[in-house]
Structure 1
């Protein structure tokens, strides 16, 4: 091998790789792993999740634990969320930002009581780990839970299914699985196996994410799929579900060239942090929030049946104005949908634009998101 040649990187396998193949999963390379894109078909799996309970293997995601003095305050130097205000058992969506306010990743942060648990995207988890280690003090310990897997059980019947799994709260007074609300997490025991459960997910449906040791994944997944409400679901349906829910995907709808205001993620910047103006890229981001960003992520409905895919150019008449970052057929909508970036004066719902598909212009309309209402179970009055 010549000195200028790159060393080939072998595609990794998930702990459940053999399980997916035995279930008929069609495996593809994604985020450095072999992952199931579908089992019986993307549309069928999508609709099953909307109507019942779908089981997703998201063990490619990075699970990180931060411990040490003043962890929350240290993390706030890198993200714009109010991490210090998170109570034990509560979680928050946030963004890892570069010094100019560009989005390095989006992530979930949970206060576990004595530590902070982070879930980061699989495709950039090694970059995230390096960024955290480079920018957090030596007093903060980062543990990569690479011996754990992560499952997501999503859909309206997920709570009934998980309740029947017999998860026992680790301490008296802690909530049963059915008592969790959206963005709440708690630890449980399952037949002697420690399991962490959060009521969260990325489909727009009610559901849960479940972290547990890798050696217990097969037994847990088998127990779930033994119930008639549950089927394994692949990456294809995961993508169409999150698109209908209006949820951006890192590396597609978010990149380091895009800031949170442009990505329409201003909700992730807490009120206190806005007032303190002390997060990475604060001047740029707060300026865009106040004056309006030069471009903005929007939803697009599409005329006709031809899907508009990522990379399609957007036009106003003959003027190229933007680009599609995610798109495809939406089974629950019954039509193609997309999201992308347009100038702020084109971001008003109802604005007509056109997407270039195979050399032809397809008429689209800017629309508010989500395309399908979220079904999260929130705390009463929240």
Structure 2
């Protein structure tokens, strides 16, 4: 017997708003609302969209030298992460592959970690087993909502003035309608925005308050995927997995200089070798020349008919106005401007390697 999908604290509100609910990573989540994926995507790029991301794992780490201990599991510099700052990172395995990606915030008396919904069953025991002297607690009594888009500061800041003062990858505790929430300026759309951790019993009230703003509309998983794809952001299970190294995935920027030099994290030998010599394959942007989108698993060939890689994420890019994709190609085939063929339904379709992201990222630095 499989477990019934879980529901977030906002489930009834999604249904009320006309959300089309689907099973996602064991959760009943809205894939879209009556506005439709294209409309929700445009809403986020031009104004503000609200996403329920309560299915993500929220974890509190307490103890001595939490940042230093996290460095034994991740290639990021968490020992020097200042209070009120957040940092993107990932767990690596002994082969240098990515076990999961995550956001780590220094909240002062504890660290706050958000992990992917589908991998919480792996990540939390991993931390519990390997972070000696650290209390690892998953919290289940809070919702997590993301307000994303150029008007996000007006939507969130209108109810929470402290949110206006945050820069990209900063976090604070602040009151919204008299309720203490954790407000972090970050997201997964390529736009400015916030993720807000809200006590479960106040989640609907605060979400309704955000949606009452004339520039804010609800958006579902469909738009979240097209937005992150245009922004060149990796999706775990598609673009990164246990076999993918951070260097292959263009994520070396997320490994700070000290860690690159010192190592001391799982898989450091492979990662340092690839940093020095280059990897055998690289994640690139792909623009199909026709109108047909190239989905995950589509073969990428050179013009000579040699298989050089495959698509990991693909779909229609509403802002770009055509199909966009990401995939891995063999070293030597990853220069922007290189012409390739995509084998879609047995036919070769012309495409071009392009630089990522497809749209400019608009974070508040």
Q: Please give the alpha-carbon distance, in whole angstroms, between the structure 1 residues aligned to 2:80 and 2:51.
A: 31
In structure 1, the partner of 2:77 is 82
1:82-112: CA deviation from partner (whole Å, max 9, x where unpaired): 1011110001100111122110000001000
SS for the counterpart of 1:49 is: helix
In structure 1, the partner of 2:221 is 235
- The Cα shift of 1:270 comes to 0.9
Q: Which runs of 4+ in 1 moved over 3 A?
A: none
2:131 matches 1:136: yes
SS for the counterpart of 1:336 is: strand
In structure 2, the partner of 1:267 is 253
In structure 2, the partner of 1:285 is 271
2:219 matches 1:224: no
Q: Please give the alpha-carbon distance, in whole angstroms, between the structure 1 residues aligned to 2:190 and 2:80.
A: 25
CA contact under 8 A between 2:104 and 2:114: conserved in structure 1?
yes
1:324-339 matches, within 5 Å, as 324-339=311-326
1:176-208: CA deviation from partner (whole Å, max 9, x where unpaired): 211110000110122332101011001000101
- The Cα shift of 1:163 comes to 1.4
1:27-46: CA deviation from partner (whole Å, max 9, x where unpaired): 11111101000002111110
Q: TM-score, normalised by structure 2?
A: 0.98
In structure 2, the partner of 1:171 is none
2:115 matches 1:120: yes
2:321 matches 1:321: no
In structure 2, the partner of 1:46 is 41
SS for the counterpart of 1:337 is: strand
- The Cα shift of 1:15 comes to 1.2
Q: Please give the alpha-carbon distance, in whole angstroms, between the structure 1 residues aligned to 2:193 and 2:178.
A: 23
Q: Please give the alpha-carbon distance, in whole angstroms, between the structure 1 residues aligned to 2:305 and 2:261.
A: 42
In structure 1, the partner of 2:294 is 308
1:303-323: CA deviation from partner (whole Å, max 9, x where unpaired): 011111111111113221111
Equivalent residue pairs, number: 363
1:1-382 matches, within 5 Å, as 7-39=1-33, 40-137=35-132, 139-165=133-159, 167=160, 176-316=162-302, 317-378=304-365
SS for the counterpart of 1:44 is: helix
1:122-168: CA deviation from partner (whole Å, max 9, x where unpaired): 1111110011112111x100111111110000000110111111x26
The gaps in structure 1 that reach 5 residues or longer are 1-6, 169-175
Q: Please give the alpha-carbon distance, in whole angstroms, between the structure 1 residues aligned to 2:157 and 2:260.
A: 40
Q: Please give the alpha-carbon distance, in whole angstroms, between the structure 1 residues aligned to 2:139 and 2:275.
A: 36
- The Cα shift of 1:76 comes to 0.4
The gaps in structure 2 that reach 5 residues or longer are none
**Cα RMSD, aligned residues only:** 0.9
SS for the counterpart of 2:259 is: helix
SS for the counterpart of 1:345 is: coil
1:263-301: CA deviation from partner (whole Å, max 9, x where unpaired): 110011110111212111111001111111011111011
1:19-61: CA deviation from partner (whole Å, max 9, x where unpaired): 1011000011111101000002111110011010000000000
Q: Please give the alpha-carbon distance, in whole angstroms, between the structure 2 residues aligned to 1:231 and 1:192.
A: 23
